[in-house]
Amino acid sequence: MSTTLRRPSTEQGRSSDRTAGPRHFLDLRDFDTATLRQMLDIASGFKRAGRVTSRPLAGKTLALIFEKPSTRTRVSFEVGMRQLGGEVVVLSDKDSQLGRGESIADTARVLSRYVDAIMLRTDRASKLHDLADNATVPVINGLTEASHPCQLMADVMTFEEHRGPIAGQTVAWCGDGNNVARSWIEAAVRFDFTLRLATPDGLRPPDDLVAWALGQGGRIELTDDAMQAADGARCVVTDTWISMADEPDPVRHTLLAPYRVTNRLMEAAAPDAIFMHCLPAHRGEEVDAGVIDGPRSVVFDEAENRLHAQKGVLAWVMGAAR
């Protein structure tokens, strides 16, 4: 799910130490590998258990705030919370006082009196961090312009279900160095795989994030050549070129056209390479129909795993699984 990158730094507005407060889920880089693995293990357990679980979140309520559209994130959080025995309240900026200028900080303080966790989808990471700084309950990142960590939990889960441990593997990202690409970079560091990003000039992931990843020992390779990125990769990933709530942009379209995932590009990948896309997709733009609807595509397993992965995150942030 793409959204326009408006800020070059992932560091701006980030609080440095939240260790003593609620268990927020803001970005993958905030966690060590063992903790992320713990959440994925919980998620896999819930998936194996099916819809009938022990209802570990009975009596808990999750607020979902959407300042941007959603299908998968909204439905998977709502259904997941209910399957765990909890309740949800859904708000948007349009139907709450947020749209009339009430501050994020006051919203955080008020909602913390009513609910047990808050998920926010917004176009400004600074709002997410403001929410987390002022909430006394866990805050979950449901997408900002800078990252989409819930998506990556589902993506790592999906890769591993299809191809085994992701550690040591190579994943190729082709297209816009957007919020999802940024979370792939953080995932590569935390889950120990090589990430090759093929992006055009002007749409590369931010230098400071790449520098952080390399400084952590991450295997991040940048190129402007999609074929070079895909060469031998076990997974090829892309995302829409149309930023959420933005109009189609002919300049971006021209820049990104060489990065479309085609059958020819998939042929350059490993013989058993899978194709992933967080959806929604635009067939004929970032991916050909023959790829996304073909045998290598796992995009609907990936979408399903949003439900399971988020159940792992929900249980973890609310302390229902330790």
Does residue 308 carry a catalytic annotation? no
Give 112 or 310: the residue with its C-beta nearer to ligand CP.
Answer: 310
Shortest distance in whole angstroms from residue 281 CB to ligand CP: 10
Does residue 41 carry a catalytic annotation? no
Question: Which residue in the block uniquely carries the two structure tokens 């949800």?
Answer: 88
Does residue 310 carry a catalytic annotation? no
Give 107 or 243: the residue with its C-beta nearer to ligand CP.
Answer: 243
Give 110 or 279: the residue with its C-beta nearer to ligand CP.
Answer: 279
Paired with 223 in beta bridges are 198
SS3 61: strand
SS3 280: coil
For ligand CP, which residue has the nearest CB? Answer: 73
Shortest distance in whole angstroms from residue 201 CB to ligand CP: 26
Does residue 296 carry a catalytic annotation? no
Residues within the interface to ligand CP (CB under 6 A):
1, 70-73, 143, 151, 278-279
Shortest distance in whole angstroms from residue 307 CB to ligand CP: 12
Catalytic residue (one of 30, 116, 176, 239): 239
Does residue 278 carry a catalytic annotation? yes
Residue 310 CA to chain centroid, in angstroms? 11
Does residue 93 carry a catalytic annotation? no
Helix, strand, coil in percent for the chain, rounding step 5: 45, 15, 40
Shortest distance in whole angstroms from residue 246 CB to ligand CP: 14
Catalytic residue (one of 14, 121, 260, 308): 121
DSSP 82-149: HHTT-EEEEEESTTSGGGGT--HHHHHHHHHHH-SEEEEE-S-HHHHHHHHHH-SS-EEE---SS--H
User: Whose CA is closest to 127, among 102, 150, 110, 149?
Assistant: 102
Catalytic residue (one of 14, 24, 129, 148): 148
Q: Is 160 exposed, middle or buried (0-12, 13-18, 19+ CB in 10 A)?
A: middle
Give 222 or 279: the residue with its C-beta nearer to ligand CP.
Answer: 279
Task: Give me the active site residues, please.
Answer: 121, 148, 151, 239, 278, 306
